[in-house]
Chain A
Amino acid sequence: MQANQHKYTPWAYSVVLHACLLLLLVLSFHWTSSDIASLGGHNPESVVKATVVDQGLIDQQLAMLKAQQQKKQQEKQQLEQSITDLKQQQASNQQKLNQQLSDMQKQAQDEQDKLAKLKAEDEALSQKHKTADTAARRRQLQDEIASEERSRDARLASMLQKWEALIQLKIHNNWVAPPSTPNNLSCIVVVTQVRGGDVTNAQVPTCNGDDAVVQSITTAVYKSSPLPPPPDPSLFDQGRTLRLTFDNKGP
């Protein structure tokens, strides 16, 4: 709007007095006028000079507008598609994570069984009287037991990471960071949970955000209660207390 007067020209002073409306009409064909833009950026001069309405031109412009609308529609659809894709991707990632977890749990069970079997055999051998054969067998068994235990520990460690990822994902998805969130955000939240995942306590010992940020973070933690259970119940004690760091390194 502010632009509509800037080419007001002195030669039109007398005209202004008698034909203000006419002047405004002329002004509306100015380069800043958006009416021109709606016609698809055609040269305003040609519009002013045209004395005969050219149906062809109008059709052309209409077709152009239509094409633009279609393009916009397509863009919108693409955007919606990409959102759907993203959601599907997220869902499939979640599914993958769950699949991996159940595979892991099954493997862990198999391993547990195998370990138990090895230990039972070892135990049985220890009851028999010692021969060169049984001693050799026992050494072999103990090697196998040690190896199985190493692989079990590795699996548990990997399960622990999976558990962390599950907790991280749930809390992240419940966190709506307010506009006052600083770029260099660093907030520590110490969370206590009980078996079953219920959050019983969440303390924020350090945070460089304001009240609104602290609120958003505690809300995210409590809203995520109950937290996802560990893939293996034996892991729970390690995660009874969680130390969460909230930061803002994302784009």
Chain B
Amino acid sequence: MQRTFFLSFLAVMLLALPVAGPQATLEIEITGGVNTASPIAIVPFVWQGQGAAPATDVADVIGADLTRSGRFKAIAAKDMLEKPTQASAINFDNWKVIGVNNLVIGRIKVTPGGGYTVEYQLFNVYTHQQLMGYSVATSAERLRYTAHFISDSIYQKLTGQRGAFTTRIAYVEVGRGGSYSLIVADADGYGAQPIMQSPHQPIMSPSWSPDGRQIAYVSFESGYPAVYIQDLGTGRREMVSQRAGLNGAPAFSPDGKSLALTLSSSPDNPDVYVLTIATKQLRRITTSDAIDTEPTWSPDGQNLYFTSDRGGTPQIYKVSAQGGEPQRITYDGNYNADSQVSPDGKSLTFVHREDGNLHIAVMDLASGTLQTITDGELDKSPSFAPNGSMIIYAATSKNQGVLEEVSVDGQVHERLTERQGGVDVRAPVWGPFLTNGQ
């Protein structure tokens, strides 16, 4: 697109511009860049301690993080012409020839008294300028987290956008025997920890609190669906809704004080409600005879988006968080459901049916333009990374639920660790930025 535009622009310029007379300075306009991943080299970090190097390959983790974002392409270590570990040892020409724009080098040291220090530097290969140089205190156990932290800092420096590699995800795992676990893991799928297990009854619909300290979810452990809020630090939890009928699809408001959820006391007619967590006060938002469910908040907390079949097919609607007349948002196709608003409030991701397959779509809310960004058959439950650059979703591989991440432009897909032995993974939700690490 950009190139075609550029070439036509070029043609117009060549034909139409008046003949320029001699001048001291040539004026040239460069319009739009190329839309490719920027090549970057993360040189393996040198281990400067005694004994065996740590199991975590820090450079490898950083490279995988940056590549997964779709903004960068980390080159393989085998393609590097040199592997410097000190700034003074860098020969920038060796990086120019292979077309790399930026270079990262680093060292892992043992801190006297235990623990590690990771030092790293980021360079511009063409200006030779050091863009960043930091030293991070860590430990063997936290080395992977530190690698994600470094990825965040590099990403922010080079893209002007906050990195989301240190954030976490939550999802539901279903074992072969029908046991359910609610899992919290790093954004790249590593470090998975069950925070709640239910041997026989379903767990569904996890939702992060905006501070990342709590997760709300639906559990059928009592035989009926009920909504719980669980504190990740203490493990303590509170049941916040067990009304007659359905209690489902909780979603924390951006201020963390309320939960939007789906309740239904009469058959086939669930509606969207907002529950004030502290007072347990309930506010009804929708009143249609149709199915209204899967509420989700706009980032400013002013509006709710939800799925409704009031028009005959499931579509996304928007309504004020105070209630009122809902407004239909999606019109493309006969199935659009399970939406989430991007962190900047400008776009919406949801499940979109096309040719009988379920894909993840992203819609620009201002223009209504819809773009399908996955091509699986059963892609569900999309959730934005807190910087809006990627989306995690549940896909199906060999009849088994797996988690995948895709850059919002649909360019880069990656499958997170696949479980063995018929374990099904579903309902992923991407957690918020953590203000002070974890």
Bound-state CA distance A209–B30 (Å) is 15
Q: Mark A60-97, 1 if CB is under 8 A from B, else 0.
A: 00001000100110000000000000100110010000
| Residues of chain A with a CB closer than 8 A to B265's CB | 10
B201 at the interface (CB under 8 A from A): yes
A-B pairs with CB below 8 Å: how many?
A: 251
Contact A3 B337 (CB under 8 A): yes
Please provide the chain B residues from 5 to 56 with a CB less than 8 Å away from any CB of chain A in the complex.
Answer: 5-7, 10, 13-14, 17, 19-38
**Distance in Å: Cβ of A32 to nearest Cβ of chain B:** 6
Q: In terms of DSSP, what is the predominant structure of the interface of chain A?
A: helix
Q: How far is the CB of A98 from chain B (nearest CB, A)?
A: 14
Cβ A179 vs Cβ B159 within 8 A? yes
Pick from A8, A11, A161: contact of B14, CB under 8 Å: A161
A190 (CB) vs chain B CBs: closest residue: B25
Q: Which residue of A lies closest to B101 (CB)?
A: A219
A39 and B309 alpha carbons, distance in the complex (Å): 20
Among residues 116 to 174 in chain B, which have CB atoms less than 8 Å away from a CB atom of chain A?
124-127, 131, 157-161, 172
Smallest CB separation, B413 vs chain A (Å): 14
CB distance from B179 to the nearest CB of A (A): 12
* Size of interface on B: residues with Cβ below 8 Å to A: 93
Choose one: A64, A172, A239, A246; the contact of B34 (CB below 8 Å).
Answer: A172
Interface residue ranges of A16-70 to B (CB < 8 Å): 16-17, 20-21, 24, 31-32, 34-35, 37-41, 64, 68
Q: Which residue of B lies closest to A16 (CB)?
A: B223
- The answer to whether B353 touches A37, judged by C-beta atoms less than 8 angstroms apart, is yes
Q: B378, A38: Cβ atoms under 8 Å?
A: yes
State the Cβ distance, A22 to closest chain B Cβ, in Å. 12
- Residues in B with CB closer than 8 Å to A4 are 204
In the assembled complex, the CB of B421 is this many whole angstroms from the nearest CB of chain A, namely 20
Task: List 30 A-B pairs, Cβ < 8 Å.
Answer: A2-B204, A2-B205, A3-B307, A3-B337, A6-B248, A6-B249, A6-B270, A7-B267, A11-B267, A17-B223, A32-B307, A37-B353, A38-B356, A41-B356, A71-B355, A72-B375, A89-B7, A90-B7, A164-B28, A173-B34, A176-B38, A178-B160, A212-B157, A213-B160, A215-B157, A219-B124, A239-B26, A243-B27, A247-B31, A250-B32
The 4 closest A-B CB pairs, nearest first, are A180-B160, A250-B32, A222-B126, A212-B160
Q: A8-B248, A86-B3 are in contact. List 16 more A-B contacts (CB 8 A).
A: A2-B294, A2-B381, A10-B267, A20-B201, A31-B314, A41-B353, A158-B19, A160-B20, A168-B28, A176-B34, A176-B36, A176-B37, A219-B126, A241-B25, A243-B27, A245-B28
Give me the interface of B with A, judged by CB distance under 8 Å.
1-7, 10, 13-14, 17, 19-38, 71, 96, 101-102, 124-127, 131, 157-161, 172, 178, 200-202, 204-205, 218, 220, 223-225, 244-246, 248-249, 262, 264-268, 270, 291, 293-294, 307, 309, 314, 335, 337-338, 351, 353, 355-358, 375, 377-378, 380-381, 389, 394, 426-427
